[in-house]
Amino acid sequence: MYIIIAGGGLVGKGLAKTLHSAKHDVVIIDHRPDVCRDLYSATGAVTVTGSATDLNVLEEAGIDKADVCIGVLDNDSDNISFALLAKYKKIKQIQVQMNDPKYEDVYKSIGIEHIARATELLIDQLIVSIESPELRKLIGFGELELCILNVPMDSSISELSVIKFKEVKGIPNELNITCIYDGALGELILPNKDTVIKGGDRLFICGTRKNLKKAAAVINKLK
């Protein structure tokens, strides 16, 4: 996909690096020339120096062929202006980072549905880190969360298949292993019921926080 990111801060840089590594065509817009130079060196993504609220700059960035536009600018007023211009260009998928919750109704009034609430996400991440340091939250879907759980080398679940893992006492049935990062091979695996979990793996598990905590307790129990 062709993706335009407005804003070269920490979030924009992280998005660009991940998306570029996933073989997407990524263009970052930032008004600071030095930031653009650093972004190109760090991410390999194309950079355009200028304001993401300037239609000429957006056209230089290739907005007419963009599939996705992402606004992660420092203030909501600029994100709104960027989103409006993206809508004018009929971009189907527009995502923004909301810095101040007071702007939520404004975003929704112009038809922006994909809103990342920066402050709420940060607070929630900190709470998870404090209460359950063994969990690394990736994203939330209402009551459900997608987290990463590291499997210790001598974990009690090491060498169990996914189906056997689900049968272990203390593992809630409602949990779902969506993906496994094989630490030995260094690759992601889409597991089936016969996939074997090994020490050093990272499990991408979806469930409620309560159930994820229960699973973490079992996974971190050593043989």
pTM attached to this predicted model: 0.59
Confidence of residue 94 (pLDDT cuts 50, 70, 90): very high
Return mean pLDDT, the chain: 88
Return the pLDDT at 197.
95
Model confidence pLDDT, tens digit, residues 101-119: 899 999 999 998 888 776 5
Q: Is 127-219 CATH 3.30.70.1450?
A: yes
What confidence tens digit (pLDDT) does each residue in 129-148 have?
556 667 777 676 667 888 88
Homologous superfamily (CATH) of 2-120 is NAD(P)-binding Rossmann-like Domain (3.40.50.720)
Give the pLDDT band of residue 89 (cuts 50, 70, 90). Answer: very high
**Are the C-beta atoms of residues 202 and 186 closer than 8 Å to each other?**
no
pLDDT at 65: 96
Q: DSSP labels for the chain?
A: -EEEEE--SHHHHHHHHHHHHTT-EEEEEES-HHHHHHHHHHH--EEEES-TT-HHHHHHTTGGG-SEEEE--SSHHHHHHHHHHHHHTT-SEEEEEESSGGGHHHHHHTT--EEEEHHHHHHHHHHHHHH-TTEEEEEEETTEEEEEEE--TTBTTTTEEHHHHHHSTT--TT-EEEEEEETTTTEEE---TTPEE-TT-EEEEEEEHHHHHHHHHHHT-B-
- Residue 84 above 90 pLDDT? yes
**Where do the structural domains in the chain lie, given as residue ranges?**
2-120, 127-219
